[in-house]
Amino acid sequence: MIKVTVVLALVFLALGLSTASFAGAQRLYGVTNDDNPTAGANTATVFQVHTGPASIAVLKTLKTGGTGLGSGYFAAPRIGIERNESCIFVVDAASSDIAAFKVLGFAKVGNYSNSALNSDYEGMGLAASAQGNYLYAGYSGSDNIATWAIGTGDDLCALTLVPGSITNAGDAVAPLAVSHDGNTLIVSELNNEFLDSYSLSAGVPTPVSHQSTSSCGFPAGIDISGNALVVTGDATLSQTYCTATLAGSTLSAVSSNTLTGAGSGIGNIESVEFDKDAWITGNGYVYFGAAGFGGGGSFANGGFSVNKVTSGVISAAATDYYDAYASNNDGAVYASNAATTTVTAMGLQSIVWQVDSTDSVTNIVNFYTLNSSGITRYASVADPNANGTAFVLTISAFPGR
């Protein structure tokens, strides 16, 4: 496996806007976890999309009060956005805490940790339930998962550890996803090449199945479509990805798949996301985020592929793709995308966030539009709060899926 010092993650932006209709563009936001390793100095940066002229601008810098790693684990999502669009949760991986903010006014609520939970190894994964009541976290240092209840009312966005939810898991766990119905949690043991499923009752996970992914590689990034189809990336230079199905909370054997028609350049598919329709119903599109890079004399480009999902089956043939290196022509070597929402019968009408790094500038935040005529880069800006270490950002977008 190729080890890199990067964490790439994505969460959906749930607005069904076409390229021609940006009436709600002022409400589109991206958030980066700047992953600053200086003690107590981590930040999250909020970006806002503007029209006329097209641009992305910094709206707010959120001080977490915790410490980032300044490096990280394949596809571990260090930033999550709670489903009801009220809260932003930012991981401080080195200090093993989660900083909570209200979306309204971006007011900080607090930092939440527990002495039994440690992410100061290869990061922490987050996944919020669609119902908005639980935040699930994977801790790579202590090799366990835990559930935090999300507060409401006067305690909006405050986190409370759910009693009995700390559960031993596999080696260096971090990437994880929760099904739309809130009944199943999927966790990746990336180094061990396994996927684990857990049934969920009042937020408490119970182990159900343990499936090898050795047939398709390292299961980086996870998402679940229609409560039944599980897909992961593969943190290798190839264009492979893994799929499995759920019967209740029981995971089937994992199968290997290979993208076609996505160009020969992109590789290291480290993040995957279903659009809103596929996430809920099993019909829509899936976005594969490729981090690129390589070693040992080989190289792959960053970018992403968009693929059709029909009745819970992913078409391996790309509907469209974006090769960041070829398209930017400026040496992008790492990339991650946070992709959106509703796909209409008229064709793709979606929005993509991406982070890439070039030969000369690191941590560039890009915003793309997707429609039936293809993928267009709408605007981009370098993150002013990036800590100077290349490839450390994660990106998310809100409102949530």
Q: Average pLDDT for residues 137-153, to the nearest whole number?
A: 95
- Minimal CA–CA distance to 246: which of 232, 225, 221? 225
How many Å from the N-terminal Cα to the C-terminal Cα in the chain? 31
- Minimal CA–CA distance to 221: which of 185, 272, 276, 170? 272
What pLDDT band is residue 371 in, cutting at 50, 70 and 90? confident
CA dihedral 21, 180, 393, 267 (to 10 degrees): -90
- Minimal CA–CA distance to 80: which of 366, 335, 382, 401? 401
What does the block give as tokens for 96?
């093993």
Phi and psi torsions of 164, nearest 5°: 80, 5
Question: Whats the size of the chain, residue-wise?
Answer: 401
List the domain boundaries for the chain. Answer: 25-398
Q: Average pLDDT for residues 357-362, to the nearest whole number?
A: 67
- With a cut of 60, say whether residue 2 has pLDDT above it: no
- With a cut of 90, say whether residue 232 has pLDDT above it: yes
What does the block give as tokens for 170?
């596999």
Amino acid at the residue 63: K
Q: What is the pLDDT of residue 154?
A: 96
State the Cα–Cα distance between residues 369 and 373, nearest whole angstrom: 10
Q: What is the pLDDT of residue 63?
A: 97
Q: 25-398 sits in which CATH class? A: mainly beta
**pLDDT tens-digit profile of 329-355?**
555 556 655 444 333 333 456 777 877
322 or 248, which is more confident: 248
Q: Average pLDDT for residues 9-30, to the nearest whole number?
A: 40
State the Cα–Cα distance between residues 26 and 199, nearest whole angstrom: 39
What pLDDT band is residue 263 in, cutting at 50, 70 and 90? confident
390 or 179, which is more confident: 179
Q: Average pLDDT for residues 285-306, to the nearest whole number?
A: 78
Query: Which percentage of the chain shows pLDDT scores above 70?
Result: 79
Amino acid at the residue 6: V
In this structure, is the dihedral angle defined by the CA atoms of residues 246, 318, 238 and 334, taken in order, positive or negative?
negative
What pLDDT band is residue 32 in, cutting at 50, 70 and 90? confident
In this structure, is the dihedral angle defined by the CA atoms of residues 324, 325, 327 and 329, taken in order, positive or negative?
positive
What pLDDT band is residue 315 in, cutting at 50, 70 and 90? very high
> Measured at the alpha carbon of residue 302, what is the angle toward residues 92 and 34, in degrees to the nearest 5?
20
Task: Work out the number of other CB atoms within 10 angstroms of the CB of residue 40.
Answer: 12
Q: Average pLDDT for residues 123-138, to the nearest whole number?
A: 92
- Minimal CA–CA distance to 8: which of 324, 344, 227? 324
What pLDDT band is residue 41 in, cutting at 50, 70 and 90? very high
State the Cα–Cα distance between residues 3 and 172, nearest whole angstrom: 13
240 or 6, which is more confident: 240
Q: What is the pLDDT of residue 307?
A: 92
- With a cut of 90, say whether residue 142 has pLDDT above it: yes
Q: What is the pLDDT of residue 5?
A: 26
Q: What is the pLDDT of residue 101?
A: 96
What does the block give as tokens for 4?
């890199």
Q: What is the pLDDT of residue 388?
A: 60
- With a cut of 50, say whether residue 365 has pLDDT above it: yes
